[in-house]
Structure 1
Amino acid sequence: MSSWKGHPPVFGIRLADTPATGTFVLPADASGVLAGGDDETAVLHRESDEPGRAGSVLVVPRPLRTPAKIVIVGVGDGDEAGWRDAGAAAIRAVPTGEALHVVLPAGIDPAAVRGLAEGIWFAAYRFREAVQPPRSVEVTLGTTDPDAYAGSLAEARVTAAATWLARDLTNMPSSVKNPDWFAGQVRAEAATRPGVSVTVRGTDRLRAEGFGGLLAVGGGSATPPCLVELAWRPEGATRHVVLVGKGITFDTGGISIKTRDGMKLMKKDMGGGAAVVAATLGAADLDLPVRVTALVPLAENAVSGSAFRPGDVITQWDGSTTETTNSDAEGRLVLADALAYAVAELEPDVVIDLATLTGANSVALGKRTAALYSHDDELAGALEAAGRAAGERMWRLPLPDDYADYLHSDIADRHSSPAQGAGSVVAALFLREFLGDRADRWAHLDMSAPSWAEKHEADLTKGATGWGARTLLRYLSS
């Protein structure tokens, strides 16, 4: 495992104005586009169970003919989402190594081509350290106007590479993925991109600068915590977006220890950190004219004699104090330090944090939907729109001020994990405490449930989903 040297390359998809060999893929409404009498293909399609449903597949073998196989895929309404599902279905319908030629309808929307390419790349992902290697095939998109879709394909490639990176970082076992390893991966990725810089604060600097929440959470581990600050600073940028991602490389629950089942997937507890890093690097790859800073507080929440205890009072970066009665509510403690630092030192126009923060998120919204919290209607709307376009669903939940009373502590400025319920909402209200005058320009995404897929489904592969990387890239691009 320790030989892992970065995410695998995203294999090529090319645009061409001449037919290629291999398996032909046709949208469901274009089964007659091939010359040579494809009436049988059209009939088989009409008689299939789900003609046209986005992601539906009909494989038509044609022995001794060219092409020898046709795959008809449903594109639904023909929008970007439908074509994304079609791309994912198409790549799964052919064996690894078999060339794929997708026949694009004349005048197809460039957004649909982007969705198609993203679907192919997302569904083809495999974790590099796994037994099964990434899908690697020759894919051609057939069109009479390649130049019209070159930009869409380039954007899709960057988004796919960012998503693959976020998935790789999250899938990596915690026997390798400690805070120092994660920071090293960010350094290596940033070194290949002009205009990107990295600062890593180790234990001594964290202590000198007062990152008390991060030091407390990481204090029980043999691998010390750190704070990664990754910055993309293009010339002429007039807007600064700060992205903060939870970076718990493994979460035992600390002294408030998790159950065995609750602990087995805790290598994914840094999924928010992976997403903000990937999105920031993607912004650099796309040369977006917006300044982006990603902050990832990294720690392993472990059990030992030096672990912080339930009932401890912790001094956060901003000098305020937090009483903690549950060491398994650690993510908000490290995020609080990073958010307070961001507001005071980085002068952000917008702050967005992503975190695998609460199990309550999945109770409320299930496995495929993140919870969105924000007082800013414009920001919330922009993130929802970006998520819809990118294929990552979220639902806005309230931030009721009277629930902030749940945070009352008799011995500190606030309580980290009150017992009154509304777990995801109260966690968001806790984070709001550290936003100061940026609370009305802040959004929080609780994305624990959608950060992991139990099986191959649509454009997701089993394991880490990289949730958030593509939504953030869409948002930054807008």
Structure 2
Amino acid sequence: MLTIRLAPRRAVSGVLALPVAGSGSTDLARPRDDVALLPEDAAAEAAALVDDADNPGRAGATQILPRPLRRPERLLLVGVGAGDEAGWRAAGAALARQSESTARTVALPPDCDPSVVRGLAEGLWLASYQFVAGGRRRRRGAITVAVDGHERYADALTQAKATVEASCLARDLTNTPSSRKNPAWFAQQVQQAATSRPELSVTVRGPRELAAEGFGGILAVGGGSATPPRFVELSYRPRGARTHVVLVGKGITFDTGGISIKTLDGMKLMRKDMGGAAAVAAATIGAADLGFRTRITTLIPLAENAVSGGSFRPGDIIRHYDGATSEITNTDAEGRLVLADALGYAVRRLRPDVLVNLATLTGANAVALGKRTAAMYSDNDTLAGAFADAAAAAGERVWRMPLPEDYVAYLASDLADLYSAPTQGAGSVVAALYLREFTGDLRDRWLHLDMSAPSWSDRPVDELAKGATGWGVRTLLRWLATVD
């Protein structure tokens, strides 16, 4: 991971980055003594460059001023937009994509809010991420963040680092090819992470336990694969916890669509179909690293949806953990089946205060909201509002969608309690309504995030690297930090 150090402001040689405010203001760009210690010629040149640039304060915009044989040798003017945490996150991401071979100093305004340091650091670290064959590439280099009273920003930097490490863990898990990433491998990764953190414990159920306890959805989806399914229960139980949160993440390690097989284009990125599982596992580990006071139980149903003589079929009826039955209408709507088991288990066995699930559930999410926004469903206005606030602070977008009661009739089956995937349309909405049927008396304390589209980025943009985004980790950690 890129090294970020806090230090008092000082005269700088090498490369110095200076902030530029947006909204037409160039106050921050003028390198005054209270921002950085600059010789007069550098200050004048920076001011002239800003005056001549087009919208230099736009968050993430960069202007480069070489100054050979002088100090500093190069100035980087980086836009911070409105100067809020989001603007500084974008600025950090832009700086991370500059040359990595040179040590750099970023000068911050005096008495800035700690959120400035958090946003800058998150942007620097997240945009530095790169996954290559065999794992994550470790980015070398160092950046000094120069600000007076730097000691008071140490906690913000610590929070940023733990958040980014969790996000990058989720990215690593999601980016890993499915030739390596099967249910047993994923469960092992969670066990290994928990081993180094005594406040975490893990229980893993294999096929025998799943059959004995009645996890019919997980067994059906995983029945066609040579690599059997797993059900991971990750627990974080800090002393004095007053609230119990259960997180559930869809963990389909590869999705062929089963007998309702996908096209090649629809299948080639299906290693990301466990993005929800990666997010909830990584967020729980991050919560433990940050010492949160909330009890968290994380449930991860893991299966590979493959095609063989053992695959489940359209027309099959499966019985879930809570006793409800589903008539299968499309084997490519498999994620909701494993989630139904996990939700039923949470309600019957754990009885938490809040129940939250994340899933790369539907392509309809992207049709409605595009690549950067997750669909959010909840009957609880307070819970939905808290999540929307957390997502906004984290830089991950959500949009609350409706749960129309008249659409529940679409789920009615003649042979079972529910159709697994009705064909009347409104794919993301109906999938959410299906999941709600398994929340029992926690229905008014449940929230569902359909995050298939934002779990993957086709190109580097802002703080996102190409590939898995780790979407949801930052939102979950921001939300969990507010839970009493």
TM score, norm. by length of structure 2: 0.95
Judge conservation of contact 1:370–1:394 (CA < 8 Å) in 2: yes
Matched, 1:178 2:182: yes
Match of 1:304 among 292, 301, 308: 308
User: 2:19 matched to which residue of 1?
Assistant: 27
Distance in 2, Cα, partners of 1:301 & 1:388: 34
8 A Cα contact 2:136 2:172, kept in partner: no
C-alpha contact 1:390 1:474 (8 A) present in aligned 2: yes
Match of 2:39 among 15, 36, 40: 36
Query: Which of 248, 251, 258 matches 1:247?
Result: 251
Task: Give a deviation string over 1:168-187, Cα, whole Å, max 9, x none.
Answer: 00000000000000011101
Q: Which moved more, 1:344-353 or 1:263-272?
A: 344-353
Aligned residue runs from structure 1 range 102-117, under 5 A: 102-117=106-121
Q: Residue 403 of structure 2: SS of its match in structure 1? A: coil
Q: Deviations over 1:110-150 (max 9, x none)?
A: 11110010000010001153699343210110011111101
The residue correspondences of 1:3-402 to structure 2 (distance < 5 A) are: 10-19=1-10, 21-28=13-20, 29-33=28-32, 34-37=37-40, 38-93=43-98, 95-129=99-133, 133-402=137-406
Counterpart of 2:24? none
CA distance in 2 between partners of 1:80 and 1:378 (Å): 24
Distance 1:59 1:131 in 2: 33
Q: Shift of residue 18 of structure 1?
A: 4.7
CA distance in 2, matches of 1:132, 1:228: 24
Q: 1:75 to 1:18 in 2, by over 3 A?
A: closer
Structure 2 distance, partners of 1:280, 1:386, is 16
- Give the letter for the 1:36 counterpart: P
Equivalent AA in structure 2 for residue 310 of structure 1: P
Residue 453 of structure 1 is matched in structure 2 by 457
Instruction: Say whether the 8 Å CA contact 1:128–1:168 is kept in structure 2.
Output: no
Contact 2:387–2:475 at 8 Å: present in 1 too? yes
The Cα of 1:294 is off from its aligned counterpart by: 0.8
* Alignment partners' CA distance in 2, 1:148 and 1:131: 35
Residue type at the aligned position of 1:305 = G
Give distance in 1, aligned partners of 2:132 and 2:14.
26
Find the residue that maps to 1:382 and give its secondary structure.
Answer: helix
1:250–1:300: 8 Å Cα contact kept in structure 2? yes
Contact 1:242 1:352 in 2 (8 A): yes
Q: Which amino acid is the alignment partner of residue 199 of structure 1?
A: T
Distance 1:131 1:295, change over 3 A: closer
Worse-superposed segment, 347-356 or 14-23: 14-23
C-alpha RMSD of matched pairs (Å): 1.1
How many residue pairs match? The answer is: 468
- Runs (4+) off by over 4 Å: none
Q: Once the two structures are superposed, what CA deviation does each residue of 1:234-286 show, in whole Å capped at 9, x if it has no partner?
A: 01100011000000000000000000000000000000000000000000000
1:97, 1:138 within 8 Å by CA — same for their partners in 2?
A: no
Unaligned runs of 5+ in 1: 1-9
Task: Judge which range, 130-139 or 326-335, deviates more.
Answer: 130-139
Q: Which amino acid aligns with 1:50?
A: N
Contact 1:21 1:99 in 2 (8 A): no
CA displacement at 1:195 relative to structure 2: 0.8
- Please say if residues 129 and 136 of structure 2, whose CA atoms lie closer than 8 Å, have aligned partners that are also in contact: no
State the percentage of identical aligned residues. 62
In the alignment, what sits opposite 1:427? 431
Distance 1:197 1:448, change over 3 A: same
Alpha-carbon offset, residue 69 of structure 1: 0.8
Q: Which amino acid aligns with 1:35?
A: L
TM-score computed with the length of structure 1 as normaliser? 0.96
SS state at 1:120 partner:
helix
Hey, what's the Cα distance between the residues in 2 that align with 1:152 and 1:333?
40
| Distance in 1 separating the partners of 2:364 and 2:281 | 25
Structure 2 runs not aligned, ≥5 long? 21-27
Q: Is contact 1:128-1:134 (8 Å) kept? A: no
For 1:435 and 1:372, the matched residues in 2 are separated by 16
Q: Shift of the alpha carbon at 1:41?
A: 1.1
What SS does the corresponding residue of 1:229 show, helix, strand or coil? strand
Q: Is the 8 A contact 2:18 2:107 kept in 1?
A: yes
Q: What letter is aligned with 2:39?
A: G
